[in-house]
Homo-oligomer: A and B are copies of this chain.
Amino acid sequence: MITIGRLAKYAGVSIKTIRVYHDKGLLPEPDRDSSGYRRYTAQHAIDLIKIRTLAEAGVPLARIRELRAASDEGFREALHQVDTDLTARIRGLRETQRRLRGLAAGRLQMLPPEVAGHLERLPELGFSPRWVALETDLWILVFATHPDTAVELFHDQAQALTDPALRQMYLDYDRAHDLDPHDPRIDDLARRVVRATLERYGSADLPGQNTNSEIPALIQGAVNASSPAWRRLDALIRDQLSRT
């Protein structure tokens, strides 16, 4: 016949927690003594410990109440489900911890000097400020999210710009921003891009595509947003590539 304070201390919870469990019908209200104090039995202590074990495992209180009334079979099944979820949560936390350490190690710290230098040289090659800004965003995202493959990808791109024909193609892409969406130069450019892509990578995977991420879509969305001509260009290229 212990008081609420003792029960709380024993179970390692606050008094309020116990009262909440009463309110929500998780733990039966015990009898009161002559002065209205709640008086608990060992059975209450047992029940409370069970409830806490489930609650600490992340089971919502409403669910715990349901489980109290569930069949033995259903209860066991539910426990198994909870166990599985818990394993997943632990794995998730470990993954978070890994990312956290990456953050602490100063990774995700903008761009390597090599890349910054490359971006600074773009205007001299004739690219517009808008194009440079887009490229900057692109590389920030790629380096932030796929640091392992980013360097490789970057070298591939930087090398492409050393070929005068390819460089002209990118310059034309840049210029296309302000064209009418139905300007024939758009169709011409789309064909050149497709031909160059196939020549450079054959029908093998495009670099960066294997990392099944949202980044390409994100970038392309950013690109498309600012110009109808670019939207059409993207649609044409996408369409022709998908036919090969």
A: residues with CB less than 8 A from B are 1-3, 6, 9-10, 39, 41-43, 45-46, 49-50, 53-54, 56-57, 76, 79-80, 82-83, 86-87, 89-90, 92-94, 96-97, 99-101, 103-104, 108, 136-138, 140-141, 144-145, 214-215, 217-218, 221-222, 225-226
CA distance A195 to B102 in the complex (A): 64
Are A50 and B93 also in contact (CB < 8 A) when A83-B100, A137-B42, A218-B10 are? no
Query: Contacts of A145 on B, CB cut-off 8 Å?
Result: 49
CA distance A6 to B99 in the complex (A): 22
Name 14 A/B residue pairs within 8 A (Cβ), A-sorted: A1-B225, A2-B225, A3-B221, A39-B225, A42-B137, A42-B140, A42-B144, A45-B218, A46-B144, A49-B108, A49-B144, A56-B96, A79-B100, A87-B97
State whether A100 touches B54 (Cβ < 8 A): yes
* Copies of the chain in the assembly: 2
Are A93 and B100 also in contact (CB < 8 A) when A43-B140, A141-B45 are? no
A237 vs chain B, min Cβ distance (A)? 20
Which of A42, A80, A137, A226 has the most B CB atoms < 10 Å from its CB? A42
CA distance A172 to B17 in the complex (A): 39
Q: Which 8 A-B pairs have the closest CB atoms?
A: A42-B137, A79-B104, A42-B140, A56-B96, A10-B214, A42-B141, A53-B99, A2-B222
State whether A101 touches B89 (Cβ < 8 A): no
State whether A104 touches B90 (Cβ < 8 A): no
Are A50 and B221 also in contact (CB < 8 A) when A10-B214, A90-B90 are? no
For A215, give the chain B residue with the smallest CB separation. B10
A67 vs chain B, min Cβ distance (A)? 11
For A11, give the chain B residue with the smallest CB separation. B214
A53 vs chain B, min Cβ distance (A)? 5
State whether B6 touches A103 (Cβ < 8 A): no
Query: Contacts of A104 on B, CB cut-off 8 Å?
Result: 76, 79-80, 83
CA distance A218 to B80 in the complex (A): 32
State whether B96 touches A50 (Cβ < 8 A): no
A29 vs chain B, min Cβ distance (A)? 18
CA distance A82 to B100 in the complex (A): 9
Are A96 and B101 also in contact (CB < 8 A) when A10-B214, A46-B141, A49-B144 are? no
CA distance A108 to B79 in the complex (A): 15
